[in-house]
Amino acid sequence: MTGLRIIDIHDQADERLVDFRDLSDADRRPDTGRGVVIAEGVPVVERMLASRFRPHAVLGVAARLERLAPALDRLGADAPACYRVTADLMARVVGFHLNRGVLAAARRPPTPDAGELLDGARTVVVLEGVNDHENLGAIFRNAAGLGADAVLFGPRCSDPLYRRAVRVSMGHVLLVPFARLGVDGSGWPVDALDTLRARGFRTVALTPGGDTRLQHAADGERVAFLVGAEGPGLTAKTLDAADARAAIPMARGTDSLNVATAAALALYERARG
């Protein structure tokens, strides 16, 4: 295991553990203050190691570090420092008992340009006002599983790299490309949707009040599905600006579906053909 640097740590106050400290607090606020992205558990850390997010540090108990050794070893000299601790010390550093037993921390890389992502994409999901971290995570998990090429952020969305979003996404937020669509919300929605149209995307708003059924709106060479926050949904301006407004056939007397589920159905509709 040439690349692996295992460092045993016995002191809770060791400065090298700074990025893993008091995560229970960090989970209540965006991690942006620290500028790090945290992956939790063997499968998610493995996804981080395979992603554009290159961790600089891994903290874990011996058994979990062993399971990660092959993936870490493949990185050779680029492998992060691996801090080996007891479960008890880990709990004291992190602030709670973390039964996933391993964490990795990476710096945030620059967010790619939306244009670049769109060039190679056939199916994208565009978010407006999706401000719930669990929904964001679930959207990325569904995007990965059902073959979306990218997720694009309109205004008023939460941070997809927040710890809870990374966890709920099962790490797929690290792998599915994403970008901001429009810089400060000023060109939203008209200019942003024009950007998509200029690249051949049909913009399809998902809305319970849509006048087209989803199965008639999901085909085409390039499609962008627009979804809004659970509850309010997409704004009237965005509904107006889209090329089509598609409804999922719903049983009578029910609310709309969860936003991540609606996105999953749209992606499935496109993938099933």
CA separation for the pair 59, 115 (Å, rounded): 36
The two tokens of residue 48 are 């981080």
Q: Which is nearer to its own copies, 37 or 265 (CB)?
A: 265
Check binding of 141 to its own copies (CB under 8 A): yes
The stretch among 15-23, 66-74, 100-108, 142-150 that binds its own copies (CB under 8 A) is 142-150
The stretch among 16-24, 27-35, 77-85, 209-217 that binds its own copies (CB under 8 A) is 209-217
For residue 208, the minimal CB distance to its own copies (Å) is 10
Check binding of 256 to its own copies (CB under 8 A): yes
Check binding of 172 to its own copies (CB under 8 A): yes
Check binding of 163 to its own copies (CB under 8 A): no
Check binding of 146 to its own copies (CB under 8 A): yes
Backbone angles phi, psi at 157, to 5 degrees: -100, 155
Check binding of 213 to its own copies (CB under 8 A): yes
The two tokens of residue 197 are 């149209």
Nearest one of 168, 169, 117, 154 to 241, comparing CA atoms: 154
Exactly one of 17, 193, 214, 229 binds its own copies (CB under 8 A); which one? 214
Check binding of 74 to its own copies (CB under 8 A): no
Q: Which is nearer to its own copies, 235 or 256 (CB)?
A: 256
Check binding of 232 to its own copies (CB under 8 A): no
Check binding of 209 to its own copies (CB under 8 A): no
Check binding of 173 to its own copies (CB under 8 A): no
For residue 84, the minimal CB distance to its own copies (Å) is 27
Backbone angles phi, psi at 255, to 5 degrees: -70, 175
DSSP for 134-162, please give it: HHHHHHHHHHHHTT--EEEE-TTPPPTTS
Check binding of 170 to its own copies (CB under 8 A): yes
Query: What's the sign of the alpha-carbon dihedral 93, 98, 99, 105?
Result: negative
Check binding of 124 to its own copies (CB under 8 A): no
Exactly one of 12, 111, 212, 261 binds its own copies (CB under 8 A); which one? 261
Binders of its own copies among residues 81 to 120 (CB under 8 A) are: none
Exactly one of 42, 144, 234, 247 binds its own copies (CB under 8 A); which one? 144
Check binding of 166 to its own copies (CB under 8 A): no
Q: Which residues bind its own copies (CB under 8 A)?
A: 43, 138, 141-142, 144-147, 170, 172, 213-215, 248-251, 254-258, 260-261, 264-265, 268-269, 271-272
